[in-house]
A and B are shown apart, each in its own frame.
Chain A
Amino acid sequence: MGISIEELNSMQIDVLKEIGNIGAGNAATALAKMLDRKIDMNVPKVEILEFKEVAELLGGAEVPVCGIYFRVEGDISGSIMFLLPLKSSKVLANMIMLKEDESEIFDEIDQSALQEIGNILSGSYVSSLSSLTGLSIKISIPSLAIDMAGAILSVPIIQFGQVGDHVLLIETEFHEDKNDVKGFFFLIPDAESFEILLKSLGVLQ
């Protein structure tokens, strides 16, 4: 069966981090185009964390967050999750819908706006991954959930759980004028696909 995150050497980790950087950069550019605004991005933080540490990063397992989830298919299979704190979700939904709503209520229009953002960000992320690796990768229609961080995170964590006890996480921060949006990307190749991914990047024999 596949290789686990714990078994990666430092060069392989660096390559995965770099992919995270490039992917998140492309995603930010796509967002800027969509909103027709200048979007700045911090250098993404790419980390390998233990399960327990991930929920803490979001403020605890009970904190409500917005998760947008995709299946990945093609030469590699797996999932992508784009996770946003509620405040950032609202900022993004407001930007798209050109409104100023301070509440933490997400109606259907807000939800589909967020799904669309997730679609664009993940799509650009995957297309950069695809051009870097030469692999053909497609993403499914997004599915969105707003619920406790722990419950939403359990989905990617369970998938990582089949290959190890750690997750690979890319934390990105976008800024638009005075609005800050913090988002987290999880790239979760299925067990067999991890090896294909690393091989295509030339860091696994």
Chain B
Amino acid sequence: MTAGIIKVGMADFNVTKHPGVLTTLGLGSCVGITLYDPLTKVCGLVHIMLPSSKAIKNNSNLAKFADTGIPLLLEEVLKLGASKSRLVSKIAGGAQMFSFSNKNDIMKIGERNVQATKEVLGELKIPIIAEDTGGNFGRTIELYSDTGILLVKTIGHGMKQI
């Protein structure tokens, strides 16, 4: 369990296999998407910031967007030996950290990120077997390659395994 914790930054991704652990710290409106193959114990984690790369001029960083980050992560776990038919996904994040009475698009970015994530995973036919999304608080997540368990830590909202 303690071997090599790999940190994934914002708009970044990484992959590993048993016994590695992948983590991303302080997810707010961003969404952390994990892919896991229970047989080969290959796993991957991407930390996306925005739903779509299409509306944005500066979109060279594929890991920043749900529509490009998830396919990129898929490609990388397959390279490491995962089988697409066995892959399962868990997602966390997509909170709304600040609330305003007049809700504009930018404030609902967390919700839009979660929605886009589900659409992309749906198109890729990867089942989402667990999620911890929404709310108004931050999350740190850790994905354990030996079991596929995703540990979600918060400040003041407890800790859970999904």
Contact = CB atoms under 8 A, between A and B. Distances in A.
Majority DSSP secondary structure for residues of B touching A = loop
Category for how many chain A residues contact B: 35 or more
B2 interface: no
B58 A148 contact: no
Interface residues of B, number: 31
Interface string B51-90: 0000011100100100000000000000000000000000
Given A1-B57, A161-B64, A145 B49 contact: no
Contacts of B139: 148, 151
B150 interface: no
B138 A147 contact: yes
A126 to B, nearest CB: 17
A152 B138 CA distance: 8
Nearest to B7: A61
Contact of B27 (A151, A159, A161, A162): A151
A147 B61 contact: no
Contacts of B27: 150-151, 154
A152 B140 contact: no
B50 A151 contact: no
A62 B24 CA distance: 10
Contact of A158 (B9, B30, B58): B30
A147 B137 contact: yes
A31 interface: no
B2 to A, nearest CB: 18
A71 B95 contact: no
Contacts of B50: 158, 161-162
A83 to B, nearest CB: 12
A84 interface: no
A150 to B, nearest CB: 2
Given A67-B97, A143-B98, A163-B58, A151 B10 contact: no
Contact of A154 (B97, B104, B136, B140): B97
A67 B155 CA distance: 15
A145 B155 contact: no
A4 B58 contact: yes
A141 B95 CA distance: 20
Interface in B70-128: 95, 97-101, 104, 106, 109
Contact of B138 (A1, A151, A159): A151
A143 B100 CA distance: 7
B155 A52 contact: no
